[in-house]
A and B are shown apart, each in its own frame.
Chain A
Amino acid sequence: MTQQRIELKFAGELGLWNLPIQMAQWQPVLRAADSREAAAVRVDLSRVSFVTPTAAVALAALLSHVRKTRTLHTFEIIRPTNAEVDQWLSRIDFYSLIDLAVEYPFNRWNSDGRFKEIVSVRDERAAELAVDKLYGILQQQPNLAERVASQVASVLGESLANVFHHAEAEYGALFCAQTYSHCNAIEFAVGDVGQGVARSLSRNPAHRDVLDDPVKALERAMMPRATGRPDHNSGWGLKWGAGAIQRNRGEMLLYSGQAAYRVTSEGGQVTSAATWPGTLVAMRFRTDRPLMLNEVMNDLDPKGTMPGGLFEPF
């Protein structure tokens, strides 16, 4: 069997905002993996100047996925020549996660207060620990708006919940977070290579029509009460997170199959995109602005009132 050679060359900044463009390079690798063709893959990061958690999770998830599930590929990783980028990837355990032996040229840094290394989140207990860790990091940020720490951590909790209740991802999800104190921001990403949004939603007969339409699937997923499992789940999580992003003037990317849904303060927009083999949710919040979750819920549930008699005065 002939082995095709595939070279992926990444350059410049790899972030939440340009992930669909990064994914275009991965398509020959994914096609070769799907057809079980032998391939030698070279991932060249030498000209990369900046990486955020979204891109790191995407790279690690794809490399892990293809290496774990396909035996016919060989990989070569060309590390960034930019020392800061290379060290950051080391610190967040990117290299160890993809089994690349890298000697630490520095003492192991304590990540408390700044970032959360890439971790595999395989069960709800691991998700609780990830949420608690992010909460702790956020509480140490300067210029923190009221309640932002608990609100962002809660939104992460909803994002991770989707992995266990909808993704059917054999290896769980990868999670990573990084704060940017100079611009009062935090970015986190949760990526899996599970069944994807369209297949998950279509388990509900009401959403069977989205199975072969990835754009429609993401539009539907962002609607209130959209869930593949209405008996078990409420279908509010993504809409709740998107509403918080809009009020916070942050940015969100929901990426699954051949579609990407981007949310900013201007609203949401879905576009066709190169394939992500599963689901990835990335969010960037400003830490100096509240998420106004009460307003989000009032918008989604305008007639909602407190059930009388349930609450004692606070």
Chain B
Amino acid sequence: MDSLNHSEDVPPIVLRQFGELLSTRAIGEDVRQLVESIVNGGGVARIDFTGVDGITISFADEVFGKLALKWGLERLRAAIRVRNADDEIARTISFAVNGRLSAPPARAAE
């Protein structure tokens, strides 16, 4: 993770462009793909919540929960910076991340 580019050269992902309320997994998938393209290129994804009034658990899970599951918490911390998220949005993100990381494997019951 030391190789990640922490410079401000990579433009932030301004979520307001997707709406004041980010409610669907479809939007979440678009954002996750943007994040992955930045991180796979060696950058740090700065996600800016300025102007976003609320998010759903589905959106948070689609972006942060699924990336946490794919990368693990340490890589997620190194690869992403969340900006201007108020307490409730931040809590929803942490809820989604913790939910994915503490969930039993999906196929455990088979």
Contacts and interface: CB of A to CB of B under 8 A. Distances in A.
A156 B100 CA distance: 22
B25 A165 contact: yes
B5 interface: no
Interface stretch (A3-11, A33-41, A229-237, A270-278): A229-237
A301 B25 contact: no
A230 B94 CA distance: 18
A293 B78 CA distance: 28
Contacts of A297: 91-92, 95
A247 to B, nearest CB: 13
A236 to B, nearest CB: 5
Interface of B is mostly: helix
Contacts of A204: 109
Given A154-B55, A236-B99, A293 B92 contact: yes
Nearest to B84: A314
Given A161-B56, A311-B90, A154 B23 contact: yes
Contact of B21 (A132, A236, A293): A132
A293 to B, nearest CB: 6
Q: Which of A205, A300, A306 has the most B CB atoms < 10 Å from its CB?
A: A306
B24 A293 contact: no
A128 interface: yes
A124 interface: yes
A308 B97 CA distance: 12
Nearest to B90: A311
B12 to A, nearest CB: 11
Given A231-B106, A301-B95, A307-B94, A314 B86 contact: yes
Interface string B40-55: 0000000000000111
